[in-house]
Structures are given as C-alpha cells and as structure tokens.
Chains A and B, each alone.
Chain A
Amino acid sequence: QVQLVQSGGEVKKPGASVTVSCKVSGYSLTNHAISWVRQAPGQGLEWMGWISGNYGNTNYAQKFRGRVTMTTDTSTSTTYMDLRGLRSDDTAVYYCAREIVDGTSFFDYWGQGTLVTVSS
C-alpha cells in the first residue's frame, strides 16, 4: 500500500536550517509529484510547493521562494524539503503529500507529519 514516511521532529534555533525527508513506498516516486504543506499550531494548512517525481522540476509558493529547496532522490524514493533562515513563525508540522494531477491538483496520501520547533 502507498505510504509516505517522514523524518522525526526537529528543534532548531532562529536563523538555522532544517531538512525534512519523505520516503515513499507502494508506488514509484517518478509517477507523481510530492507537495509540502505546513500547519502552524492551531492553524490551517499552507502549501509550500511541489517537486515532480521524475525530473525534479519544482514550483514554490511565492512566500517561500528564496528560502526553500525541494529535492528528490529516486534511487531511495525519498524527497527532501530544506527550509533556511528559520524564524519562530516557522514552527509548524510539515507534511509531504502525494499530488494527483487530474484537471486539477489534490493530495490523496499524506505523510505522518514532522514537527519543526524554532526556539532560542
């Protein structure tokens, strides 16, 4: 069955960088894009961007351009999300999600989430 398994929680200081990984199984990473979505405590969902599974093309939400990098390693079926220049308002649960493109885009499978805490 399809699974997206993310790396464990992180605690970072302001200004630092964090890398969150998302390992997929049950399907080929090259067949679907992966999006990253974050959720601050008690808040809604915020889309950060996507990376294609085959060529590694990316599309970042304007808010995160210049601060986020998404990469993919097809040999290990793993996608990575790097966020730099962390601030306290980057404290959130970060999710990876498999994106389906079918006249629109939506997410049919999600990772379990990774809590990133930014605190001095």
Chain B
Amino acid sequence: SYELTQPPSVSVSPGQTASIPCSAHKLGEKYACWYQQKPGQSPVLVIYRDTRRPSGIPERFSGSNSGDTATLTISGTQAMDEAVYFCQAWDSNTIIFGGGTKLTVL
C-alpha cells in the first residue's frame, strides 16, 4: 500500500522559514495537500493541488511537490503556526495521510 512519510517533529525560530517534507514513491506524479491541526480543533486545509492556497490562508504558506517529496514551507513563521501538519494524497481511489509533523516555534 502507498505510504506517506513525515518527520515527527520540526522546530523553527520565530520569523524564520520552516520546511516540512512528505515523502513517498513518485509522489511528484500525484497531487499533495496539507492540513494544519491545532490541539482540540479540526484540521484546516492550508495547501491543495501541491501549491494552491485556499482563501483565508496567509501567503506565508506555500507548497511544492517534485520527485518523491512534497514540501510545505512556512515563511516568516509565527507563534500561531505552531501545530501538527498532515500531508495527504490520493492513490488508487484511496485517501492517504502522512503521520503528521509537529511544528514547534521556539
């Protein structure tokens, strides 16, 4: 079965750039999207179709997808961005999620 792999945690200093990878075989040939989830809240879509931002999502969130890796990038990271981020793809009529990456802003 197809699996998406994320690092369990990433740390970043306020104002710096955070990069969160999501890896799978030939992931670049599929579309990836990303969700942000804060404690006790439902997930929120922050990137879809690799690079697109839903309305209301700040411009500091961006995405890319090539080869075996999709990446969520947060530029000028703010304290409010501290959350767990999940990547997601679609394969063989099945939705797959990565295990999630806890982003710590310190």
How many residues on chain B are close to A (CB under 8 Å)? Answer: 23
Distance A97 CA – B87 CA, assembled complex (angstroms):
16
Interface residues of B in 48-76 (CB under 8 A from A): 48-49, 54
Distance A106 CA – B95 CA, assembled complex (angstroms):
8
A-B pairs under 8 A by CB, number: 60
Majority secondary structure of chain A interface residues (helix, strand, loop or mixed): strand
Task: State whether A44 touches B100 (Cβ < 8 A).
Answer: yes
Task: List chain B residues, Cβ under 8 A from A97.
Answer: 43
Distance A103 CA – B36 CA, assembled complex (angstroms):
22
Flag whether A107 is at the interface (Cβ < 8 A): yes
Task: List chain B residues, Cβ under 8 A from A104.
Answer: 30-31, 33, 48-49, 89-90
Interface residues on A, range: 20 to 34
Query: Could you list some 26 contacts between A and B, CB below 8 A?
Result: A35-B95, A37-B95, A37-B97, A44-B86, A44-B99, A45-B35, A45-B86, A45-B88, A45-B100, A47-B95, A47-B96, A47-B97, A50-B95, A59-B93, A95-B43, A100-B48, A102-B49, A103-B49, A104-B48, A104-B49, A105-B95, A107-B35, A107-B88, A108-B48, A110-B42, A110-B43
Q: Which residues of A contact B (CB under 8 A)?
A: 35, 37, 44-47, 50, 59, 61, 95, 97, 100, 102-108, 110-113
